[in-house]
Amino acid sequence: MSKETAALEAVDLGMTYGRRSGHVLRGCTFRLPTGSVCALVGPNGAGKSTLFAVAAGLRRPTEGTVRLLGSAPGEHRERIAYVAQNKPLYPQLTVADTLRLGAELNPDRWDQTAAERIAYGGGADPGAAIRKLSGGQRTRVALALAFGKRPELMLLDEPMADLDPLARHQLTGALMAQAAEHGTTIVMSSHVVAELESCCDHVLLLGSGSIRLAGTCDGILSAHSRLTGTGTDFAPHTVIEERGSGRGRTALVRPYGEPDTGVWAVEQPSLEEIFLAHLRNPGAPALFTGRAAPAPSQEAAI
């Protein structure tokens, strides 16, 4: 596969669930490079699970196109692993039987050692039925199927939601090792932004079904500043959010040139601050940075 081929790419992607439901996704355009670890972030109802389902080939988009590893969804299922938010498994099977099923369905790529390391790391009994496992143990088994498949692209919808902090730390480390050792592209969603910020190098921020931010974490951070001072005019900078701060004003801005440090105290905001500001202010212009940006003809100005 060419290095120029995107791991996940969408152009004007839209999705509705009926004429009266309105758009769940609208005009989503982005390009995620291979080998990246991407955080898909957004509030409940923003369209994250729908985007995963469309990318995995489980739902057909109403508008636009999406491609995985250079192909349409569903064309190369053996190269892709998808773990849905509800972690669907066969409840009557044992843990060992579930891993055996994974091996039978993926005979050319299966890594039994990797699957067992993930599945049994939480103390699950190989002979225990899936329906008798705790939520965290079921999550481990679902992730074990994804790891055992040795995919080129992993789509993980809230993969750590049922896990305790120690298990989240361990499995995050396993995901990072997977990306580093095998060049696996990982796209995962979570509401714990600090958790994603520590391990991801790319971001897709969804708000009301549209892409608000897309690009590298470093690119998004460098494109924003927090200005604090007693002035009232933030021009020529693009203001994302403004609020009172003591006797002065504070604003999250996209700087146009270097801010005047004689007027403003300039600080670097966190990714979480940037995400929240864009979500609270849907009228702020979207931002695409780095290699996750659309093609030049579709790219928004920074």
290 has a pLDDT exceeding 70: no
- Confidence class of residue 298 from pLDDT cuts 50, 70 and 90? very low
Do you find a cis peptide bond into 269, omega within 30 degrees of 0? Answer: no
Question: How distant, in Å, are the alpha carbons of 20, 29, 205, 245 from that of 76?
Answer: 33, 22, 26, 53
Give percent above pLDDT 70 in the chain. 93
- Confidence class of residue 291 from pLDDT cuts 50, 70 and 90? very low
221 has a pLDDT exceeding 50: yes
What pTM value is reported for the model?
0.89
- Confidence class of residue 130 from pLDDT cuts 50, 70 and 90? very high
- Range 277-295 average pLDDT: 76
- Range 38-56 average pLDDT: 93
More confident residue, 295 or 29: 29
Give percent above pLDDT 90 in the chain. 72
How many CB atoms within 10 Å of residue 104? 9
- Confidence class of residue 187 from pLDDT cuts 50, 70 and 90? very high
CA angle 228, 233, 239 (to 5 degrees): 70
What pLDDT, on the 0 to 100 scale, is given for residue 20?
Answer: 65
- Range 143-156 average pLDDT: 96
> In terms of DSSP bridges, do strands 185-189 and 37-41 run parallel, antiparallel, or are they unpaired?
parallel
Tens of pLDDT along 154-171? 999 999 888 898 998 899
User: How far apart are the C-alpha atoms of 293 and 97, rounded to whole Å?
Assistant: 42
- Map the chain to HEC letters: CCCCCEEEEEEEEEEECCCCCCEEEEEEEEEEECCCEEEEECCCCCCHHHHHHHHCCCCCCCEEEEEECCECCCCCHHHEEEECCCCCCCCCCEHHHHHHHHHHHCCCCCCHHHHHHHHCCCCCCCCCEHHHCCHHHHHHHHHHHHHHCCCCEEEECCCCCCCCHHHHHHHHHHHHHHHHHHCCEEEEECCCHHHHHCCCCEEEEEECCEEEEEEEHHHHHHCCEEEEECCCCCCCCEEEEEEEECCEEEEEEECCCCCCCCCCEEECCCHHHHHHHHHHCCCCCCEECHHHCCCHHHCCCC
What pLDDT, on the 0 to 100 scale, is given for residue 294?
Answer: 47
What pLDDT, on the 0 to 100 scale, is given for residue 295?
Answer: 39
pLDDT, the chain, mean: 89
Q: Which structure tokens are listed for 260?
A: 């005047």
Lowest mean pLDDT among 4-8, 41-45, 111-115, 254-258: 4-8
C-alpha 174: how far from chain center = 17
